[in-house]
Structure 1
Amino acid sequence: MTTPTFQDLGFDLANFSVDARYESIPADAVDAAKKSLLDLIGVTLAASGVEPVARTVIDVVRENGGRPESSVLGFADRVPAAWAAFANGAMAHCLDFDDLTPWGAHATSSILPAAFAIAERQGGVSGREMITAIAVGQDIFARMRRNIDWRKDWNISTVLGVFAATAAAGRLLGLSRTQMANALSVASMQSAGTMDVVYGIGGDLRCIYAGFSAKAAVVAALLAEKGVVGTQTAFEGEYGFFKTYFGGRYDRENLLKGLGSDYTGNTTLYKPWPAVGPSHSHIYATIQLVTANNLRPEDIEEIRVHVGDYHEIMCSPLDSRRAPATLVDAKFSLPFLVAVAAVRRDVTIADFTGNALQSPEVLAVSKKVIPIADPAFDWKMELPLGQVEIIARDGRRLSQIGTKVPGSPEAPMSWENIVRKFANCAALAATPPSAGQIEKVQQMVRQLESLDDVTELLRCLA
């Protein structure tokens, strides 16, 4: 009798990535892939025009130059595929406006820049193939996100994003099962990023981190195509991914359950506001309170925000969070975000551009925001809720927990919402497309499965 040979989970993911067929993907996962594509192109275009660090990234990409294989959104540049993935990935998360899972973390800002870079390099990639690649990547990301023991130490968006993006890029590159397994192993060499880039104050890395995982995915896929061989135990070996990053705490059975039939990308959420996901419940509760009670900034004596463990990080150090020094920090500063919501009754890209951080009205209200530790709002798995209590100058005490938040599973964004968001974002690009171009791209994405060459989308924006 021979002892069965253990197969590393990486081979299961590789086989799934290669064997997936458009016809087998449920309609809601197809719809999610198309929504993600339109949404991400939009937020990337907006970042090209309004986020200063995007220009720095483009300068570095231009300096490295090379074969004109793939497009940089918002600009006229065509650069090698890996550098295009880096540029577009960096811009994709710049505004913290990209999609996310119901459990937090961002998949598509790694997946789509890598996929588009390879699609342009290859040429002739159909809309159906692009949908399949995105759906595969989103499914892998969601499965891993839900079935690991994350302690909020690693930056899951990049640590997992590189594998999801590699699967999508490798599929469009036409890798075999063996090559795909090798690509995922190569990707493990580039699976990186700690939560310091998210929690820290004053840096740009939180803004551009998806560029690193997108670029790494293209490099991994191209190396595997050329014959680079990975290890056989990249994920589950004694020194592999799961033990090294998560102490071996993962649910293998659930991770693989329904693989190839249940596409979990259908859970993807889309943001109505350009701010970190765990702030949205507080933002919505604040908007509801000031709108329903017609509160002006001068009517507010104090705003108490009940915060869980993750929210507390967004409030510390409190003085810096109340008056963030950078556009990047502002999107992660709960007191500032709540103040914007109280003053504007909305949160838009304009609140994080130009001199918006110096708004006297917003800063005055931000000083009135007081965090109250409340373990009821700790982040367990799903994105945490938040409670806002406003003390009015006339003595009223108004309280609201932000439930059924726009963009949440209970109140998902419709196609109409996504289309409107795309148009608003695209208009802010470094080189804004015309109204006709915007309309045409919207229509093309809605009918993506009928495109013979998905790069028509990018040519339409050029």
Structure 2
Amino acid sequence: MSADQNLTLAQSLARFAVQTRFDDLPEGVVESVKSRVLDILGICAAASALDTSRAVRQWVESQGGVAQASAVGVAGPLPAAQAAFVNGVLAHSLDYDDTHLPSVLHPSASVIPAVLAAAEASGASGKDAIRAIAIGLEVCVRIGMAGYNTETKNSTFFEHGQHATSICGAMGAAAAVAALAGTEADVCNALGIAASMASGIIESNRTGGTVKRMHCGWAAHSAVTAVELVRVGLTGPPTVLEGRFGFFEAWLHGEFDATAITAGLGAEWSIEGIFFKPYPANHFTHAAVDAAAALRRAGIVPADIASVTLGVPLPTLRTIGQPIEVKRRPETGYMAQFSGPYAIAAGLLGGGGLEVGLDDYTDELARDADRRALMDKVDVVADDRCSAIFPSQFPAVVTARLNDGSTVVEEVLVNRGGPGNPLSFDQLTRKFRDNARRVMSEGAMDSLERTCRTLQDTTSVQLLFADLIAVDPLLSAALADATHSRLDD
């Protein structure tokens, strides 16, 4: 689709959303979307036992409303916007959801919950959902890239303390939900309304708090709500993005790249390049896990180590290395997910999943005396070579000085899960099962995996939730198995 100079940015995105058909999607995009649905639903299942997940379920169940859509771990159906909220919170709560570089966005955690809730409520097919998700992910990424500063090689959203994931996620998800059955005017108005709902700040990355887990849920909720408001007659400004008092002025002080939104729109897709996460932690820490795991495979144990220097890109230092006294003393598993020193400890000691898994980020392990002793030996510093590569990758250089006087250096310059070192479908399935097994039976996991694999042939996305709506994190494994057996019957 060539850019029309007479259209505003929102109108251009709306035209792209409405004119794009399922058959226009490249095969790789379709396969990538299906894998991301499986990935997100597995994360939602694993996150359903968190205190914050129980809190948001309690909140939505207290709201009432007309039953329309399902949410993971909720006993009964919910209004679509509230189902999107619950699943969006769960999707982002483990910091296990995918990442786009260099925008540093987590697009799927907002877009997929919003689309699945709206698609279920409207009776949309698997093809409809795949198409809408692809549109939403593309819009989210392009708006995020409009705020990427090529000179500083960093997101301007991030520099302002803004959570681009939730801010851009609300916009991408709104375009996606509106595209399910809307006109160009509907999509444009949905973007105009969602822009007044988009929000999120990231101070909790530095000093704690669980509010970040809410961000993608609120973005998904905002998207569904915006489309519902369009249907009853509300409208948004057509210049909502580039206008004098629009989205980019409000968030980025007017500093944005419009061509990042329009160039190649409809012909060039970003989706296959979005990085899957192999580890349940902030993406900035992943290369540190890999480097420390390489030390472990080389036979180095914590007792051998005198000190460790973790070199990272300068822009990531604030998130995973500062304040260093906090990063060396995470009080919870959640805080450990944002700690460079903890990533070294986790990788060096080894764990589950694809190298380390959810069981390696518990509150108990975050406070473990042996891990803290190892974290005390870790300094996190800016590394010039890593800074030069960032944000196309989140590299790390680990220098371990051993008690025998020798030094070992491990460099990880390309992240696992991205185009340069992709995860296979089998690895993604293993990640899904490692997540979902906590609350789902083998039969239920098999069923959900088959549905995702053939999603384009599914007449209703409700089939995705046939087992997930029965998830109760408080049930024993045996009782959960029995529950799913009854549903399978």
Length-normalised TM-score, structure 1: 0.94
Aligned residue for 1:306, secondary structure, equals: strand
Structure 1 match to 2:473: none
Secondary structure of 2:408's aligned partner: strand
Q: Percent identity?
A: 29
Aligned equivalent of 1:309: 314
Report SS of the residue matched to 2:129.
Answer: helix
State the SS of the aligned residue for 1:209. Answer: helix
| CA–CA separation in structure 2 for the residues paired with 1:65 and 1:254 | 41
1:36 deviates by 0.6
Task: Give the Cα–Cα distance (whole angstroms) in 1 for the partners of residues 309 and 437 of structure 2.
Answer: 36
Contact 1:25 1:261 survives alignment (8 Å): no
The counterpart of 2:431, out of the listed 401, 406, 421, is 421
Q: Give the AA of the match of 1:195.
A: I
Aligned to 2:188: 181
Change (3 A) 1:347 1:310: farther
Q: Give distance in 1, aligned partners of 2:391 and 2:367.
A: 35
The CA distance in 2 between the partners of 1:279 and 1:194, in whole Å, is: 20
What is the CA–CA distance in structure 1 between the aligned matches of 2:292 and 2:241, rounded to whole Å? 43
CA distance in 2, matches of 1:373, 1:403: 14
Sort the Cα spacing of 1:240 and 1:380 in 2 relative to 1 into closer, same or farther, 3 A.
farther
Matches within 5 A, 1:31-180: 31-49=31-49, 51-103=50-102, 104-123=104-123, 125-148=124-147, 149=149, 150-151=155-156, 152=158, 153=160, 154-172=162-180, 174-180=181-187
The answer on 1:241 being equivalent to 2:250 is no
Uncovered stretches (5+) of structure 2, i.e. residues with no partner: 150-154, 471-489
Equivalent of 2:262, from 253, 256, 268?
Answer: 256
How far is the alpha carbon of 1:279 from its aligned partner? 1.2
Partner of 2:339: 333
Specify the code of the residue in structure 2 equivalent to 1:277.
Answer: H
1:259 aligned partner, one-letter code: L
What one-letter code is carried by the residue in structure 1 that aligns with 2:428?
A: I
Equivalences for residues 305-454 of structure 1 within 5 A: 305-313=310-318, 314-344=320-350, 346-378=355-387, 380-428=390-438, 432-454=439-461
Deviations 1:182-238 (A, max 9, x none): 110001101211232433x12001223211111111111110111111112101111
Moved more, 55-64 or 350-359: 350-359
Q: Which moved more, 1:303-312 or 1:227-236?
A: 303-312
Question: Does the 8 Å CA contact 2:274/2:418 hold for their aligned counterparts?
Answer: no
1:458 maps to 2:457: no
Structure 1, gaps ≥5 residues long:
none
For the residues of structure 1 that align with 2:273 and 2:382, how far apart are their CA atoms?
30
SS at match of 1:113: helix
Question: Within 2, Cα distance between the matches of 1:380 and 1:399?
Answer: 20
Letter in 2 for 1:163: M
Measured after TM superposition, the shift of residue 372 of structure 1 is 2.6
* Distance of 1:197 and 1:139 partners within structure 2: 27
8 Å Cα contact 1:24-1:261 kept in structure 2 = no
Q: Decide which of 216, 220, 229 is 1:223's aligned counterpart.
A: 229
In the alignment, is residue 18 of structure 1 matched against residue 27 of structure 2? Answer: no
Q: Tell me the residue number matched to 2:484.
A: none
Q: Classify the secondary structure of the residue corresponding to 2:93.
A: coil
TM-score between both structures, scaled by the size of structure 2: 0.89
> C-alpha distance in 2, partners of 1:208/1:338?
28
Structure 1 residue 354, shift from structure 2 partner: 4.9
The aligned counterpart of 1:8 is: 8
Distance 1:175 1:427, change over 3 A: same
Displacement after TM superposition at 1:440 (Å): 1.4
Q: Are the aligned partners of 1:179 and 1:227 in contact in 2 as well (CA < 8 Å)?
A: no
CA contact (8 A) 2:308 2:399 kept: yes
Given that 1:32 and 1:268 are in contact with CA atoms closer than 8 Å, whether structure 2 keeps it comes out as: no
User: What is the CA–CA distance in structure 2 between the aligned matches of 1:326 and 1:97, rounded to whole Å?
Assistant: 16
CA distance in 2, matches of 1:221, 1:448: 24
SS in 1 for 2:448: helix
Which SS does the other structure have where 1:198 is aligned? Answer: helix
The answer on 1:297 being equivalent to 2:296 is no
Structure 1 stretch displaced more, 438-447 or 337-346: 337-346
Cα distance in 1 for residues equivalent to 2:325 and 2:196:
39
Work out whether residues 278 and 383 of structure 1, in 8 Å CA contact, stay in contact via their aligned partners in 2: no
Q: Deviations over 1:148-192 (max 9, x none)?
A: 2333222110111101111111122x1211111111000110121
Aligned to 1:287: 293
Partners in 2 of 1:52 and 1:299 — Cα distance?
38
Q: Which region of structure 1 is more displaced relative to structure 2, 257-266 or 296-305? A: 257-266
The one-character-per-residue Cα deviations of 1:9-57 (angstroms, maximum 9, x if unpaired) are 00111111122101010111111111110000000110002x2211111
Distance, in Å, in 2 between the alignment partners of 1:202 and 1:35 is: 31
- Determine helix, strand or coil for the equivalent of 1:390: strand
- The equivalent of 2:480 in structure 1 is none
Deviation of 1:380 (Å): 4.7
| Contact 1:206/1:328, CA 8 A, preserved across alignment | no
Secondary structure of 1:455 counterpart = helix
